[in-house]
Structure 1
Amino acid sequence: MSEEQRLPGGNTGGAVRVGDTVRRVPGRWTPSVHALLQHLEGAGFGQAPRALGFDEQGREVLSYLPGETVGVARPWPAWVHSDDALRQVARWLRSFHAAVASFVPPPGAVWREGGAWRPGLVVGHNDAAPYNAAWADGRLVGFFDWDFAAPVTPEWDLAFTAFAWVPLHARDVVRAEGFTAFADRPRRLRLFLDAYGWEGPPGPFVDTVRQRVSASAAGIRRTAAAGDPAYRLMIEQGVDVALDTAVRELAGFQSGGESST
């Protein structure tokens, strides 16, 4: 077997590359995620890893998405916040939602953050953020780390992706990531929604983003309290507090609260 190469990122355990594969410690949700990825492969959706089973150590095996990642350094490369990247991500999400629309999870499917599938929902990625994207020659190769996949409305998945890429996170957070064009965020949000094909007004959508982010912060605290080490680390890093700050700041997003400072 090829030599193992540790990949950057990951709150617990991380992942290693072995040749053209990635090996990761599985969770109770991994079989459900593999069923999702197998569906996407069968649907001809090529911008996601392929599920390749498990190795002799019991680790899940996924195909490696080649390309550049933002890694763990801050600030991120300037191209992350380009209009072109924003359009590509929105179109990726639209194509993914089209491919996953026909996916019915297997009986007894388990998801990391819970949730039960019913008609009208999709199994969203739920973490399609810059730190989970691979790029090559300026093109989006796809998104990895599907651990947070779970049944949601398409709008819920869209809301988090907009939050991550417009970006709509707290100003201190996105400044550290290299984004300071706050007055441009309403235009970037409309650009993102148009590229996805979302025709509704941005005001109610921002309300959905705030609800989505509030739910994420609450979920982090709840799961950390139950003892999950990855979520306890997020609490230590102040991830939930930053999300709460973003929710407060977004209250003025559509009422003239955006400025260049």
Structure 2
Amino acid sequence: MLTTIDVRKFNTLIEINTLINSNYADARSLLTRILESATRLSEGEASSLLLVDKVAKKLYFEIALGSKGPDVQKFSLNIGEGIAGWVAQHNTSLIVNDVESDRRFFSDISKQIGFPTRTMLAVPMRMKDECIGVIELINKKDGKYFTDDDLQWVEIFANQAALAFQNARSFQRVREEIHLLQDQIQIDRGYHTLIAKSPLVLEKLEIIARVAKTDSSVLLLGESGVGKELFAEQLHLKSARKNAPFIRVNCAALPEGLLESELFG
């Protein structure tokens, strides 16, 4: 039978799932919401979400909640350092209900920020079985200990956080690719400047000016390197379609039948 607390936890998970599937851009707000929910439902006094930097081999405090949150974010941990570092290194969850007696506990941060740490719960954020971050909860309220039930629920929230992070990163990568393609289109639409004094070239430009007013296919013939593309650009720029894209196609790469179909129908 589900308790009232379990129902709250399930409802929170449903809300987070909805957010993950609808908001890819604002990853930080979503991760903060997930961490807030995990902290509230597990009754922690403070919490942090750390992300792994594989190149530097460090953990950085991406989000820190609690009265000393802003101070905590100034620190970083080496992989393997402290309880969070151990969790990241071994990709294994951990409950420590007496941190002072645990040799893995890194007390420097707690001492420097003036926040006594009694109990900790830390779980890895996994992407394809690889640890990409750690969620840690500090000091269960009212002097209580973290339980295996707390651990199971926080692991679920950590999986949600990893999914949100992955979605946001994929969204950012796709957005960057779109911007690159848009920039490339603008580059590809750059036209050459054609300056001519030769009577023969000027004559051809006059013909192009007349032909451009018609809505007909035009075939330009000439040896390779004589400037057919330059005349094609001028034809496009003087036509009613000048504001539309000018698309360059390597005709030599087209099958003969397809080329004839495109040119002559």
Band of TM-score, shorter chain: under 0.3
User: Which gives a bigger RCO, structure 1 or 2 (Cα 8 Å, sep 6+)?
Assistant: 1
Whichever structure has more helix as a proportion of its residues is 2
TM-score (norm 2): 0.20
Please give the TM-score of this superposition, normalised by the length of structure 1. Answer: 0.20
